Every structure is written in structure tokens, then in C-alpha cells.
Amino acid sequence: MKLTSPASIQLRWISACYFFFFAILGVMVPYLGVFFENRGFNPQEIGFLLAILMATRIIAPNIWAMVADRTGMRAQLVKWGAAAAAISYLTFFYNGSFTYLAMSLMVYTFFWNAILAQLEVITLETLGENTSRYGAIRSFGSLGYLVFVVGVGFAISVWGTEILPYVGMVLFIGLLLSALPLPSQRVVIKHATQKSPLVLNKALFWFLISAILLQMSAGPFYGFFVLYLKQSGYSEAIAGIYVALGVLAEIIMFMLAPRLLGRYGVNWLLVISLGFTAVRWWLMAYFVDNFMLLGISQLLHAFTFGLVHAASIQFVHRHFDIHHRSKGQALYASLSFGVGGALGTWLCGVIWGNGSGASMAWIAASVCAFMSMVAVFFIPHESRLSHDSID
């Protein structure tokens, strides 16, 4: 079934929103640690500040999801979130104290992190029965991440880390301009005589436990990867290329994900992906000086994020009815990227110390990924996506 012309136009703007949203992530996640280090903060303070970036995902998506599911104003919320994030990001230009930067991060990331869950719901509802196209749309986000993680790496090598706020401001404005053309009509939700309650069943429970553990395992990567490579003798530009290699693998996986999900189902693909993730962090702990094994570890990002995310978004979409779809995506985002990401980043900062605990942080990450894989075995097999459900 081909999408109608208005839907095709809307998907173009949605793709642009993904591009700028994840381009911002490509600036913040790899380089904020270096940015804060150059402003004189120690690893524990850096871990705490980066945890705020993740922690606002716990509250923001859920608050906005309740409003979205009650009002159907999903596109409007994306626009308002983008506008508020761009305005509040201006506070990041001031070279303030630890407390000031913590407050700045808390405010603008609250609005920024509220956007993605709504964007995911809008995308899947626009696609309708063609959810197999999700990977192609979402890959524009990966492209934005790839372009800017490489570009900013080279920019920092030339102009220093203080270029970050300026690049970020341009991207926040781009996100706002991409969100403005999204249709503003409310989504009409036909309420049944007795609306079904939001139920956390066994499949969802173990899925969310696995997601939290996975994001905890990613704490060293999200917060300290570039610092780790610098400590091992690599430049920011080279570090950016390694990050981009992982994102390129992720984009390719997004294209392959529909067929893989249709053939093997969610459960086994999650097990395989999380197993590779545990191996990936183990390689980071012991073989960072080997440029080939470092490259292989980055290629495994295709599984760590690409395949896991494609499966997870559709898993959540199918386990919540139309009355709770925003809440479902928000619950997934807040518990995995929020709780898991914040805990992982904060704990990594504690273990990291002055850099002497770096290898131990990656080993702890590998253990978390392994535990995430074990949790998948408790997800009932009836939760797997059939071939018919994604094509």
C-alpha cells in the first residue's frame, strides 16, 4: 500500500526532525564530556552532569505523553518542545559554575527529551500498516548523528570545544523549523465505553528490565568514549570517525531490520544483539589500543542500538493501544534511556575516578549487557513480531 501524498510530505518533515534531533545528540553525547573537562570539571562532576542529560528523559516524556494521549495534540507538543528547547538552550552559552550548568542542562533537556516519544508515535501512525518503513525514516536521525559527530570532531580540533554551544544552537533552530510544518490537527481518539487500563504484563516487564540494563551498559560509551580514546592517544577527530563508523553500521542495520524481524522475531534478535553488546564493551576494556578491534567494536553498534531500537519501538507500539501509545513510548524512553542511561552514566563517573578505573567501567558495562540478554529469556515468545505484522 502506497502512502498518500500528504502523508509522504509529512514523513519528509518527520525525517528532517529526526535528522536534527539526533544531530544534537551527536554533538552532546560524544563531546560534552570533553567540553566539561576543558571547563575544569572532574570525572565525577562530568558523570553527574551527563546523567542529567539522561535523567530528564525519566520525567519529561511521561508528562508530555499524558497531555498527548488526552488531547491528541502530538504535533503541537513537538513544536512547543522544540521552541522551548531552542530558547532555553541560550543559557548554555554562559560559562557558569557547576550548579549553573546543571540547572541549564536540566531545563533545556527537559523540553528536548519530551519530543522524541511523540515523534515516534506520529511516525508510526503516519505509516499505518507500512511500519516496515520505520527504519528508513529513522535512519535520517542516524545520518544527522553521523554527519555532525564527524564534523564537530574536526571542528573541535581546529577551534576547540567552545564551538559546541554555537553548533548546538544552529541544530536546535533547525529542529524547530522542521517541526513547524507538521500538521496541527488533533489526533481523534475514539474512546470505548470503558477505556482499557494501562497494563504492565510479564512481556512488558521483562522487556523494560532488559532495556534499562542495556542503557546502563552504555553509560561509558555515552559519557566517556571520546575521553577514553583521548586517554589512549587518539584525537577528537579520530574519535569522531570511530563514532561515525558505528552510526554507519546502525543505518545499514535499520534497512535490514524489517526482514530480520519478520524472519526471526524480537526475542532471538534481542538475545543476539545484547550478546554482541557484551562482547563489544569487553573489547573496549582490553583492546582500545588495537585500531582494528576498536573498529569492530564500533561496527557492533549495528546491534547495540540499530537492531535493538528498531525491534523495541515496534514492540512497544504493538503492546499499547491507541489510547496509550504516547504513554507506551514515553515509558520505554524514560525507563531505558532515562533511568538506565542516567544510572549508567553516573556510576561510570564514580568508577572512572581519575581515569585509572576506565577498564573496570567497561567491564561493568559488559556485565550489564549480559544481564540484559538474560532478561530477554523471560519475555514470553508470543510477544515476538510475526512476518505479517511488520510488512
Question: pLDDT for 106-119, tens place per residue?
Answer: 999 999 988 888 88
Q: Using CB atoms within 10 Å of the CB of residue 42, give its burial: 0 to 12 exposed, 13 to 18 middle, 19+ buried.
A: middle
The per-residue pLDDT for 197 is: 58
The per-residue pLDDT for 377 is: 94
- Better-scored residue on pLDDT, 324 or 82: 82
The per-residue pLDDT for 194 is: 47
- Residue 126 CA, distance from chain mean position: 21
Q: Tell me what the mean pLDDT of segment 42-64 comes to.
A: 84
| Cβ neighbours of residue 235 closer than 8 Å, sequence gap 6 or more | 157
Residue ranges of alpha helices (H) inside the chain are 5-38, 43-71, 74-88, 98-113, 115-127, 134-159, 164-179, 202-217, 219-231, 236-264, 266-286, 291-299, 301, 308-319, 325-332, 341-352, 358-376, 387-390
- Better-scored residue on pLDDT, 22 or 127: 22
Task: Assign 322 a pLDDT band (cuts: 50, 70, 90).
Answer: low
Q: In whole angstroms, give the CA distance from residue 348 to residue 219.
A: 6
The per-residue pLDDT for 193 is: 42
DSSP single-letter state for residue 297: H
pLDDT at 386 over 70: no
Q: In whole angstroms, give the CA distance from residue 271 to residue 308.
A: 10
Tens digits of per-residue pLDDT, 84-113?
Answer: 999 999 998 988 899 999 999 999 999 998
| Cβ neighbours of residue 1 closer than 8 Å, sequence gap 6 or more | 128, 129, 130
Report the percentage of the chain scoring pLDDT > 70.
90
Q: Tell me what the mean pLDDT of segment 42-65 comes to.
A: 84
The per-residue pLDDT for 307 is: 92
Q: Tell me what the mean pLDDT of segment 1-14 comes to.
A: 74
The per-residue pLDDT for 205 is: 92
The per-residue pLDDT for 80 is: 93
Q: Residue 345 to residues 77, 105, 350, 364, 384: CA-CA distances in angstroms?
A: 28, 15, 9, 12, 31
Tens digits of per-residue pLDDT, 165-207?
Answer: 999 999 999 999 999 998 876 655 554 444 555 567 888 899 9
pLDDT at 129 over 80: no
DSSP single-letter state for residue 305: I
Nearest CA among 337, 344, 327, 347 for reference residue 54 = 337
In the chain the domains, ranked by start, together with CATH numbers, are 5-185+200-390 (1.20.1250.20)
pLDDT at 213 over 90: yes
The rounded mean pLDDT for the chain is 85
Nearest CA among 359, 368, 345 for reference residue 43 = 345
pLDDT at 391 over 60: no
Task: Assign 384 a pLDDT band (cuts: 50, 70, 90).
Answer: very low
The SS3 call for residue 281 is: helix
CB atoms within 10 A of CB 380: 11
φ and ψ at residue 353, rounded to 5 degrees? 60, -130
CB atoms within 10 A of CB 68: 28
Q: Tell me what the mean pLDDT of segment 24-28 comes to.
A: 90
Residue the block writes with cell 557558569: 96
Q: In whole angstroms, give the CA distance from residue 87 to residue 241.
A: 31
